[in-house]
C-alpha cells in the first residue's frame, strides 16, 4: 500500500466545505484502490483530510475520508509536490497525519435556518421555505449554530465560514 498527496481542485474544495460527503472525487491517476491519501487544498497548500482510495479510474480517483480537518487544516508548505497527485514517502505521510491531529470529540449542535415566509397555510409556508432554500442556498442564507444547551453562543455561518450579521458593526 502506497501513500499519496492529492490536491483537491478549488471548486470541489468549496463544495466539500459546505456539504458532508463520505468520499470526494478528484482528478488524477497513479494511486490504486486501498492506497492512503493526504488531501490538500488551497494556496498555499494545507492538509485538510486523510483518506483511502476507494476506486481508481482512468483519470479520476474516488477517495473515502478517514479523517477530516476542514476547520483546522495543517500547513503543508514543506511538502514539495511536483504534481497535483504525487507519491509521498511514508515518513512524510505520517508527519502530516500527525499534524492533522486526532479526530475531535463529537458533540451535539443546534443548527437552524430562520426565514420569515408569508403564506395562507402552514403547508404552503413550508413549500415556500424549501423553495427559498433551494433557490438561495448557502451563499445567501445564513445558518445559525450553537452548542446544545448554550444557545446564547449562537454563531452565523454563510458559505461554511463564520459571518458577522450585525449591521451596526459594518458601519465605519
pLDDT value for 82: 77
Please report which helix (H) or strand (E) contains residue 87, including its range: strand 85-88
Q: Above 90 in pLDDT, residue 92?
A: yes
The whole-angstrom separation of Cα 95 and Cα 80 is 14
- pLDDT number for residue 106: 86
Q: Would you state the pLDDT for residue 161?
A: 85
φ and ψ at residue 137, rounded to 5 degrees: 65, -170
pLDDT band, residue 172 (cuts 50/70/90): low
Element (DSSP H or E) covering residue 95: helix 90-100
Q: What is the mean pLDDT of residues 82-104?
A: 90
According to the model, what pLDDT value does residue 94 have?
94
The Cα–Cα gap between 129 and 119 comes to 10
> Where do we find the cell 499519496?
4
Q: Tens digits of per-residue pLDDT, 5-52?
A: 999 999 999 889 888 899 999 999 999 999 999 999 988 899 999 999
116-151 pLDDT tens trace: 899 999 999 999 999 999 998 888 889 999 999 998
* pLDDT tens track for 45-65: 999 999 999 998 889 999 999
Residue ranges and CATH numbers for the domains of the chain are 3-100 (2.30.130), 109-170 (no CATH)
Asked if pLDDT for residue 97 goes beyond 90, the answer is: yes
pLDDT at 170: 60
Contact between 6 and 38 (Cβ < 8 Å): yes
Q: What is the pLDDT of residue 101?
A: 86
Amino acid at each position: 500500500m502506497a501513500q499519496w498527496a492529492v490536491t483537491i481542485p478549488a471548486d470541489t474544495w468549496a463544495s466539500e466545505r459546505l456539504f458532508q460527503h463520505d468520499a470526494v472525487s478528484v482528478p488524477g491517476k497513479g494511486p490504486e484502490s486501498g492506497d492512503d491519501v493526504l488531501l490538500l487544498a488551497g494556496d498555499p497548500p494545507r492538509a485538510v483530510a486523510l483518506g483511502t482510495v476507494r476506486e481508481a479510474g482512468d483519470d479520476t480517483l474516488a477517495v473515502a475520508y478517514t479523517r477530516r480537518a476542514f476547520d483546522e487544516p495543517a500547513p503543508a508548505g514543506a511538502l514539495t509536490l511536483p504534481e497535483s497527485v504525487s507519491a509521498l514517502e511514508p515518513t512524510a505521510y505520517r508527519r502530516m497525519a500527525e499534524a492533522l491531529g486526532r479526530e475531535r470529540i463529537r458533540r451535539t449542535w443546534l443548527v437552524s435556518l430562520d426565514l420569515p415566509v408569508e403564506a395562507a397555510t402552514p403547508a404552503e409556508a413550508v413549500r415556500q421555505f424549501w423553495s427559498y432554500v433551494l433557490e438561495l442556498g448557502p451563499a445567501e442564507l445564513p445558518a445559525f449554530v450553537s452548542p446544545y444547551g448554550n444557545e446564547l453562543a449562537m454563531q452565523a455561518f454563510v458559505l461554511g465560514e463564520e459571518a458577522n450579521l450585525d449591521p451596526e458593526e459594518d458601519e465605519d
